[in-house]
Structure 1
Amino acid sequence: MTDRITLTQLAVTTPHGVLAHEKREPQRFFVDIAIECDLSMAGASDDLGQTISYADVAQDAERILLQPPVDLIESLAEQIAASVLAHPAAEAVEVTVHKPDAPAGVDFSSIGLTGPAVTVRREQHRPVVIALGANLGDRVATLASAVRALGRIDGLELIEVSGLFETDPVGGPQQPDYLNAVAVGNSRLSPWTLLDRLHEIEAGRGRTREIRWGARTLDLDLIQVGDPAADTDLHFDSGKLTLPHPRAHERAFVLAPWAAADPQARLRVGRKVVPVAELLRVADSSGIHIGPQWRPW
């Protein structure tokens, strides 16, 4: 991703340092922040909700710098990077903390911003769950091709893909049975960017959206982003995307392959975080059967 939001030389005078007098006597600190993110939607929509507010980023960084003194500017840089990556749209961040008046025992140039500084770069690393389904054409070949395409997405790392499950259609017009699977992995992409990549894979395999819940060559749904057990999962409804998927907790054709791919998986349902295996036990699984064997990756 080449889109970036940059904040340069945020200035705060505050006490931080290893030495006792540094914790008493404020000195100058400057911070540079460069955020990698997908700005295409914000550029097209002129909607602040589809980007990252640089005012929020700056105020969070200032709050961290004004906290009780710490020894190391490395600690400040890590905390600022973590605060940036808490934004759903942030894919990676580089933070530089300058301490030009540090008591280093040597002279630095008086021209420009000189003196000690540390730079850290951190990437987003969120667990993701993607459901796959197909009920037209050569379903196994289409799903295997989709898994390979997922593996080629820059910023997505696949960890496990379930076996195939043959399922009766749910809702919509009369149509053939589905083959379903679930892929779990980690992603540095924003959820909206990842969703766009999923739609590109669908379109490349003939997917159309003419009839809701109608037959399809390929269906890729983003089910969950983040880890609800660690309270890091994203939960929102942006109009384009709702997380977690609002019907995943009751769809056995999602729960069964998900539990197979990750037996420890959990899903947020309302205010509760529930094991997927427990949701599967109470879901209607009467229309689900083990599908053909496959080795998609």
Structure 2
Amino acid sequence: MSTPVGRTPGAGPVIRLGGVEARGHHGVLEHERQEGQHFVADLEAELVPGAGAGDDIGATLHYGQAAEALHAVLAGEPVDLLETLVERLLDAVEALPGAEACRRLTVTVHKPQAPITVPFADVTVSATRERTRPAVVALGANLGDAAATLAAAVARLGDLPGTRLTGLSPLVETDPVGGVEQPVYLNAVALLETVLPAERLLAALHAIEAEHGRTRELRWGARTLDLDLVQQGDPRTGTELRCTGTLELPHPRAAERAFVLVPWSQVDPAAMLGGESVATLATRAADAAGVRPGPPWPALRWGGAR
């Protein structure tokens, strides 16, 4: 059985851009399309924690460019509904180079000259988009108190900025692969929702490994903690990231590793990898016989102050 988990992601800086004005021709009435009227847009962008740490404009949302993007939509192609207009405004901001630093975007569009027959101050429509992607992280350890180490690593995953845990597999015991004589492993798979780009998420996983004494002298060797980024995005929704080079996604050997596939299929039976069912891949994996039920999880920390 999978374990549903959740926590509130840490808050980052917030950019608020108010009162971007333009004359537009949006509305369902003919005179609105012909004569045009005054429209105003406001933007609130909550950034990933640490977006300003490097003092680099390229690592955050450029609010000047955001203002120009909002103005262009307000003054651009007419639409009938404010609901449609606010979605186009969000699309425009999301297309900007620094938008990947935004965890949450909220746009409000004002139509203070709307054709209403009674006195009123304003008409507004707002919409919010969360900019998160699912991620799959495989965990393993075979030195020291492996179960306690993995539990501590799970807690650290939930502490990552802009990240929450959404599922956790049971622990499984697995035989080592790679030909190096060493103790059996405990393995698991954690599911995340995160705003972190893949490179930053991988760097965070390596930092957690280092906190637990992970070294990399011997390939396939024993380790205190191993955290692999297996997949980011979801092929079922067309959001899967595909990367090559120093960061390969999906993980190039995940489809062959029962110690990843078996717990992954337990926490997400409908998961897909490389166009195939993870559950099917798990049954075909050459080392599937070397995967057994593991011990219960020790006490796990899901929530608490950040």
Normalization by structure 2: what TM-score?
Answer: 0.74
Query: Between the two proteins, what is the percent identity of the paired residues?
Result: 45
Spell out, residue by residue over 1:166-199, the C-alpha distance to the aligned partner (whole angstroms, 9 max, x if none): 3333448544332211012433444444444434
Partner SS state of residue 35, structure 2: coil
Counterpart of 2:241 in structure 1 is 234
1:16 equivalenced with 2:23 (yes/no): no
1:4-83 aligned within 5 A: 4=14, 9-38=19-48, 40=50, 44=54, 48=58, 61=70, 65=74, 66-72=76-82, 74-81=83-90
Give the conservation status (yes or no) of the 8 Å contact 1:37–1:190: no
Counterpart of 1:274 in structure 2 is 276
Spell out, residue by residue over 1:78-106, the C-alpha distance to the aligned partner (whole angstroms, 9 max, x if none): 44336656754431112222334333454
The CA RMSD measured in Å over matched residues stands at 3.5
Q: 1:286 to 1:190 in 2, by over 3 A?
A: closer
1:293 equivalenced with 2:303 (yes/no): no
* Higher RCO (Cα < 8 Å, 6 or more apart): 2
Counterpart of 1:168 in structure 2 is 175
Give the conservation status (yes or no) of the 8 Å contact 1:202–1:219: yes
Residue 43 of structure 1: CA displacement? Answer: 5.9
- Aligned length, in residue pairs: 284
Give the conservation status (yes or no) of the 8 Å contact 1:92–1:121: yes
Give the conservation status (yes or no) of the 8 Å contact 1:85–1:92: no
Give the conservation status (yes or no) of the 8 Å contact 1:91–1:188: yes
Q: 1:29 to 1:158 in 2, by over 3 A?
A: same
Spell out, residue by residue over 1:124-154, the C-alpha distance to the aligned partner (whole angstroms, 9 max, x if none): 3432211111121111121122223334445
Q: What 5-or-longer segments of structure 2 have no aligned partner? A: 1-10, 301-306
Normalization by structure 1: what TM-score?
Answer: 0.76
Counterpart of 1:243 in structure 2 is 249
Q: 2:127 aligns with which of 120, 124, 131?
A: 120
Q: What 5-or-longer segments of structure 1 have no aligned partner? A: 109-114
Higher mean C-alpha displacement, 141-150 vs 170-179: 170-179
Counterpart of 1:143 in structure 2 is 150
Spell out, residue by residue over 1:93-121, the C-alpha distance to the aligned partner (whole angstroms, 9 max, x if none): 1222233433345476xxxxxx4434433
Q: 1:198 aligns with which of 205, 213, 216?
A: 205
Partner SS state of residue 236, structure 1: coil
Give the conservation status (yes or no) of the 8 Å contact 2:44–2:107: yes
Counterpart of 1:208 in structure 2 is 215
Residue 258 of structure 1: CA displacement? Answer: 0.6
Higher mean C-alpha displacement, 221-230 vs 129-138: 221-230
Partner SS state of residue 176, structure 2: coil
Partner SS state of residue 229, structure 1: coil
Residue 33 of structure 1 aligns with an amino acid whose one-letter code is L
